[in-house]
Amino acid sequence: MELIIVRHGQSEANQQDITSGPDVSLTIEGKQQAGDLARRLQNLEIEKIYSSPFKRAMHTAQPIADLLNIRIDVDHRLREVSFGSFEGRPHSEVVKIIGKDPRGLFNEYEYDFKPYGGESSKEVEARVKSFLEDLKKQRYKLVLIVTHGGIIRWINYLVTGEKIGSTTYAEELHLNHQ
C-alpha cells in the first residue's frame, strides 16, 4: 500500500504564530494551497482519503475529495498532538514556560504536555501506531492521509524508522506501508 501523507494548508494559528487548538480554519493562502494540492493529485488513483477531524485538515482534504469524488473518512487518531493549556497561546509564551519552542520538540520525538493537560509522545505514538495497524488490514493500493506536522513525523518514523524534521503546508510525502 502506498501512502500519500499531507500536512494541512496554512492555518490562522500558523500565520499568527499561535499554538494551535483543534478548531482553527485555513487562511486564504491555506485554501489556495489546498486547491493547488488537489490539482497536483487529481490524476492519481487515490482509493481512500483519511483526515484528522480538525477544520484545517478537513478543509485541505475537501477539494481533493471533491475532484476525485471520494468520501473523506475522519479518524480521530490523526488529530494533532494536544498541547493542553498551551493551545491558543502565542508560541513565545509557551517557550517562556517550558524553555523550548514546542514545534522543535516534535523533532526530538520526546515531549510531554501531560502536566499541562495535553499528551505525551508515548500516547501520540500509540494512537498513530493503532491507526497504521488498522490501515494495514485494508486492501487499498493508494491512500491519502491529511493530518498535522506532529502526526506526519510519527507516521514516517513508524513506517520507515527514520526521523524527519518539520513539514511544509499542503506538501505530500509518499511512503510504502507494508
Q: What pTM was estimated for this model as a whole?
A: 0.93
C-alpha cell at 22: 483543534
| Domain assignment present for 78 | no
Task: Tell me how far apart the alpha carbons of residues 108 and 110 are, in angstroms, rounded to a whole number.
Answer: 5
CB contact at 8 A, 9 and 171: no
**Which of these is catalytic: 59, 76, 91, 148?**
148
Domain range holding 13? 2-47+123-147+154-176
Task: Tell me how far apart the alpha carbons of residues 148 and 136 are, in angstroms, rounded to a whole number.
Answer: 20
Q: Are strands 72-74 and 172-176 parallel, antiparallel or unpaired?
A: unpaired
| Domain assignment present for 21 | yes
| Domain assignment present for 8 | yes
Highest average pLDDT, of 139-143, 167-171, 174-178, comes from 139-143
Give the pLDDT confidence score for residue 43 in this predicted structure.
94
| Domain assignment present for 7 | yes
Of 44, 60, 35, give the one whose Cα is nearest residue 149: 60
**Which of these is catalytic: 8, 59, 91, 177?**
8
Question: How many structural domains are present in the chain?
Answer: 1
| Domain assignment present for 23 | yes
Tell me phi and psi for residue 51, to 5 degrees: -140, 150
CB contact at 8 A, 14 and 41: no
DSSP 45: -
Give the pLDDT confidence score for residue 166 in this predicted structure.
75
| Domain assignment present for 165 | yes
| Domain assignment present for 59 | no
Say yes or no to pLDDT of 167 above 90.
no
52-111 pLDDT, tens digit each? 999 999 999 999 999 999 999 999 999 999 989 988 888 888 889 888 877 777 777 788
| Domain assignment present for 99 | no
Task: Tell me how far apart the alpha carbons of residues 111 and 119 are, in angstroms, rounded to a whole number.
Answer: 8
Q: Is 177 a catalytic residue?
A: no
Q: Is 148 a catalytic residue?
A: yes
CA distances from 29 to 8, 56, 61, 138, 152 (A): 11, 12, 15, 34, 21
